[in-house]
Structure 1
Amino acid sequence: MQSPGVFDPDKRKLLSALSHGSIFLSGLVISIAIPIAVLFVSDDPVVKDNAKEAINFHFNVWLYGLILVPLSFITLGLAGGIWWLVHWGLTLWAISHSLNKPDQAFRYPFIFRLL
């Protein structure tokens, strides 16, 4: 049994990485359910912060997708391709950060935060 305020680092890494990694399923609208579930089942403040950030990133990916997919037809796929690389790159960065610095929540740069 752990004392209050002490959290399992392996569980923290797993749940934080799972929250951020759920964006790889962003083609499925249900992918946002993963960080929402993590937000509600975890009592770890770092995991909760990572889950909130992942939820915010989902909203941003969808918003920019709505803008850039039509723009891709004009730019022959360039706009959508660049956004695809950026959003996957940011996700990989977030997962790496969660695994290497588990005591610090990841913050995506240049996103709108609703939560």
Structure 2
Amino acid sequence: MQSAYDPEKRKLLSVLSHSSVFFASLFFFIGVPLGILLISEDPIVKENAKEVLNFHFNIWIYEAIIAILVFSFIGIPLAWLLTPFFFLFHWVTPILAILKSLNTPDEPYRYPFIFRFL
């Protein structure tokens, strides 16, 4: 399928959105995909930016659940079981999203196991 949008720009903006997960500054990791969502006219880039924002919201929810479990006496063993899976999910899926954006830029990446708010 031939796209009317620049494939290199699409790759760059999609990868930039997905890689924002790895930056610690709140403004940067929310601001980059939000800015890309608002500025870009490319529908695939917009879809990737929305997906990254949804991923961030889900990460915050999962972190809150694990924190509540840690601070509750009964939930401590469950938190110990869930934490390694959470960290794998938090770090591996954005890497997979970056690789997919580089290899098939004409398809948006859909993160698994998240609720979509946007």
Contact 1:71 1:80 in 2 (8 A): no
Aligned equivalents of 1:67 and 1:78: distance in 2?
Answer: 13
Q: Is 1:12 paired with 2:10?
A: yes
Aligned match for 1:94, one of 76, 87, 97 = 97
Structure 2: state its 5+ residue gaps: none
Deviations 1:59-88 (A, max 9, x none): 001110111134357237443232011111
Deviations 1:12-71 (A, max 9, x none): 00100111111112x432211110000111111100000000000000011101111343
Aligned equivalents of 2:5 and 2:70: distance in 1?
Answer: 45
Report the residue type matching 2:85 in the other structure: I
Q: Alignment RMSD, CA only?
A: 1.7
Structure 1: state its 5+ residue gaps: none
Q: Determine what percentage of the aligned residue pairs are the same residue.
A: 50
Aligned equivalents of 1:84 and 1:99: distance in 2?
Answer: 23
Aligned match for 1:109, one of 107, 112, 115 = 112
